[in-house]
Structure 1
Amino acid sequence: MIWLVLVLGGLALVVAAPYLHEALKPHMDDKARRSAPGKFAELSRGCTHYRWLGATRGPVAVCVHGLTTPSFVWNGLAPGLGALGFRVLVYDLYGRGYSDRPSGPQDSAFFVTQLEELLEDQGVDGDITLLGYSMGGAIATAFAALFPERLRQLVLIAPAGLGHDLGPLAERVTHGGRLGRWMMQAFFARSFRKSTEAERDLPSSVEGIVDLQQGELHYRGFVPAVMASINGMVSEDLREEHHDIAQSRVAVLAIWGGQDSIIPISSMGDLAQINRAARQEVIEDAGHGLTYTHSAAVIHAMRDLMCD
């Protein structure tokens, strides 16, 4: 009988360990935010970290980052956008960077509301150029479909919403129920470190990009936020939203990485069938990190934004 108690106790410890590890991580609080650049807005679901970059005057470009990369992912592109004449607003999605980590589903309504409230807080009421990278591309697509009159143009960089391959762990999270959630909590950090380390020797316009990404694992709520977004925003099929955008005649530029293993290049063809007016560019030797590994090429693909 004693051995059975020990076995069951050991199993309980194994099951609980990932959740205990998460609970012992520090909060993203005022102390953690002391070194943060930029400012903070108190929105309905919590504190949102934001920065204004680029030109001091001019049309506004709003940048929405991806699943695991906070707003620092735009550090390499913001100067180029500024050179094009844009005032650039970047911010951290809930669950990432210096923003709060509210619990609950993270679907399109969740993220679109955050963006809508931030624009109101910052007094941005004219038409904007909206840029979205990876999952941020899906958020930008959802926003554009709802508020086409607020957009001057939409720029999608390796956007989610038309298909993706985040790997077997994400697939397990989406379809594995409680076991999938446990596996995510137990193994995501190791998987994330391995995938980011693979980019350490790549050129990057964002200094210390690998260490910055891995630093997200230090704070409580990041892994649950990624898990909630995989089950929510990342899993949404946005073909109908792209149809709505096409009908609204919002100008669309989509930029793809020719070597992207996460967002398949076949999504380019899907978008072309839905929105024949969309302009599309491929950076042939770029992977999914094209915003920071191929910043100059991405800016070059945007060269006509101020001419339209």
Structure 2
Amino acid sequence: MKYFVASGEERRLTAEARQAMPGSFIELSDGVTHYELTGPEDGDVVVMAGGLTIPLFYWDSLASELNTRGLRTLTCSAYGRGYSDRVRARYDENLFARQLAELTDRLGLTARPLHLVGTSMGALVSMTYAAQYRSSVSTLTVVGPAGLAKPRPTSPDRLLRNDRLAGLIARRRGLQILQGHLGHNVRDPELGAELTEMVLDAFRFEGSLYAVFDTLQHLPVSGRDDLFRQTGALGIPTLLLWGDEDDVTPLVHFDTARALLKPQQHHVIPQCGHMAPFERPSDVADQIVSFVAARAERLDS
């Protein structure tokens, strides 16, 4: 898709603009990444990979819960999201996996294996990272993953395959489509409004809608059974979590995910929508901490 700037994207992510922004920034090979590294310095490191639109602030409550429980956390905004660069590149899972690999390396976090958490589209990125950097992953937590719906020759899919039409739709109706998508992510209307405000704040910056729609073109979020199967064969201790009222990646795919990933543990979070780390951070933290602790005990025994 040809790069474009949509209506309403009136700001640019410059070094000067970033001076007033919270968090830290680092220049990687594809662009500047916005990140936060928090928690006890001697704690095991949990690296989080987010979904299609979410910035690193999405993880704040979960990171705080994990930090309190003794784990160190690394969160970042994927390229094109939050305050990370809008790059003129192919937005696919290899780009995002490379971003995580370079970030953890530059921050000196690769001396011991990491605990990787991926939600929604970020689950696909996490699985790609795990396959490419198997020795650097101690555990994998997959939350409400995308990828298990069956591909359908629907009109939106055909439009995305056509660069010209995809660009036209993205420029004219992209923000409306995005707002509709965000409305289905969480159960609680107040949390939904908070999430929408968080995401749309970053969509004031040039290239934001381009990044989302180029991702939809080049990172398939359906028909990814082979990636799940490949991940299950890696032998990485895996935890599968899912909200019971997930309307984006419905619970109907839970059994398929279990069969393909072969997780050591799995859990359905009650009264929870698509974004469990945002909606139910304490419950998600409980699951991750016990899973990581069990892995550490096996290594020590």
Q: Please, what TM-score do these two structures have when normalized by structure 2? A: 0.86
Q: Could you tell me which residue of structure 2 aligns to residue 284 of structure 1? A: 270
Measured against aligned partners, the alpha-carbon deviations of 1:213-263 in whole angstroms (never above 9, x if no partner) come to 121221111101000111122446443333333222100111111111111
- The residue that corresponds to 1:219 in the other structure is 205
Instruction: Give the equivalent residue in structure 2 for 1:73.
Output: 58
Please state if 1:297 is matched with 2:283.
yes
Tell me what 1:139 maps to: 125
In 1: Cα distance, 2:183 partner to 2:282 partner? 23
Could you say which structure has the larger radius of gyration? Answer: 1
Deviates more, 1:151-160 or 1:237-246: 237-246
Aligned partner of 2:298 in structure 1 is none
Out of 92, 95, 112, the residue aligned to residue 110 of structure 1 is: 95
Q: 1:288 to 1:200 in 2, by over 3 A?
A: closer
Deviation at 1:154, TM superposition (A): 0.2
Q: Is the 8 A contact 1:164 1:262 kept in 2?
A: no
Is 2:155 aligned against 1:160?
Answer: no
Alpha-carbon distance in structure 2 between the residues aligned to 1:269 and 1:101: 36
CA spacing shift, 1:107–1:77, aligned 2, 3 Å = same
% identity of equivalent residues: 25
Q: Is the CA contact 1:52–1:90 (under 8 Å) kept in the aligned structure 2?
A: yes
Among candidates 37, 44, 48, match of residue 63 of structure 1 = 48
Over aligned residues, Cα RMSD in angstroms? 2.7
Residue 197 of structure 1 and its aligned partner are, at CA, apart by 5.8
Measure how far apart 1:208 and its partner are: 4.0
CA 1:97 to 1:128, structure 2 compared with 1: closer, same or farther past 3 Å? same
What is the identity, as a one-letter code, of the residue corresponding to 1:123?
A: G
Instruction: Return the offset for 1:264.
Output: 2.1
60, 73, 79: which one aligns with 1:88: 73
Unpaired runs of 5+ in structure 2?
296-301
| Relative contact order higher in (CA < 8 Å, ≥ 6 apart) | 2
Q: Is the 8 A contact 2:5 2:207 kept in 1?
A: no
Separation in 2, partners of 1:21, 1:271: 37
Distance 1:23 1:300, change over 3 A: closer
Residue identity in the other structure for 1:94:
Y
Kindly tell me the number of residue pairs found equivalent between the two proteins: 288
Q: Deviations over 1:252-308 (max 9, x none)?
A: 111111111111223222222223344221113211122212222222332412222
* Pairing 1:202–2:176 present: no
